Amino acid sequence: GAQVQIEGAYVREWADGVQLNISRDGSIEQVS
């Protein structure tokens, strides 16, 4: 499953131990 958190300008999503920061303009940063 995925956990999604809205925080500031980012949607943070965790799936399979990977955290993605998805900004409102659509860019995606893989954090870990």
**For the chain, which residues make up each domain, given as ranges?**
1-32
Sheet holding 18-23, edge to edge: 2-7, 10-15, 18-23, 28-30
Q: What CA–CA distance (Å, rounded) separates 32 from 29?
A: 9
Q: What CA–CA distance (Å, rounded) separates 27 from 16?
A: 20
Q: Is the pLDDT of residue 1 over 60?
A: no
Q: What confidence score (pLDDT) does residue 26 get? A: 77
Chain segment 7-31, per-residue pLDDT in tens: 666 666 666 667 777 777 878 777 7
